[in-house]
Structure 1
């Protein structure tokens, strides 16, 4: 059994901090669960281009506000507590922080190793174990 508190990740190599977001990677590929699980904070007023070509992601918004815009069709969706979205088609999108920090819980398949950041195309690399 794996039991962790998110506070154990803060300040370690499993906490990735960028200008746009802070991601606390609580479960990773090394945990051999078949997915990774993260708490991410999207900083207010930011805009991040994301295109997970190599991963599927499900996101549950639990605090704050923001917006996601799918690039293929320009549709915009308001994000806030209780909203869940799933990038089931590797949807290229813009993720925007609103006026308050947007706190989300994310699941990735295949799981992340823990150090990934978006490349110039908004992609996380696929790391094969």
Structure 2
């Protein structure tokens, strides 16, 4: 059995901070954990407004706290994000994420992330990245 505490993981290299200042993400499960997906607790900072396009991954996001919106760029639809909202980027959707109040999100990625990924110039995570060790 694999057990990790968020508060402990936040003190390690499992906590990745966006170089652009929009978010931080504590990666609780990664590719090397052999679960077939990765699981992260991500904080989107209040006022963040940025573009993403996960070309290599599918993502499911559950809002724990905060308030914001996600906009799908192909059709311009906007969806409110509040506690209890689940949204799924099941078509590699190009999207904008906005945080009106700091948001705490639980995120699942398939295929799983390696650990150190941050968004590239297209707003995607690369398939290969440095692995984080315990």
TM-score after normalising by structure 2 = 0.92
Following superposition, the deviation at residue 51 of structure 1 comes to 0.4
Number of matched pairs: 128
**Does residue 124 of structure 2 align to residue 118 of structure 1?**
no
Aligned to 1:8: 8
In the other structure, the counterpart of 1:107 is 108
Shift of 1:74: 0.5
Q: How does 1:43-58 map to 2 (within 5 A)?
A: 43-58=45-60
**Counterparts of 1:37 and 1:8, CA distance in 2:** 15
Structure 2 gap ranges (5+): none
The aligned counterpart of 1:75 is: 77
Q: Does 1:95 align with 2:97?
A: yes
Aligned-residue CA RMSD (Å): 1.3
Segments ≥4 residues shifted beyond 2 Å: none
**Structure 1 stretches of 5 or more lacking a match?**
none
- CA–CA distance in 2 between the matches of 1:55 and 1:107? 10
1:57-95 C-alpha deviation (Å, 9 max, x unpaired) = 000001000110000000001101000000000001001
Is the partner of 2:35 in helix, strand or coil?
Answer: coil
Q: Secondary structure at the match of 2:32?
A: helix
Which residue does the alignment assign to 2:36?
34
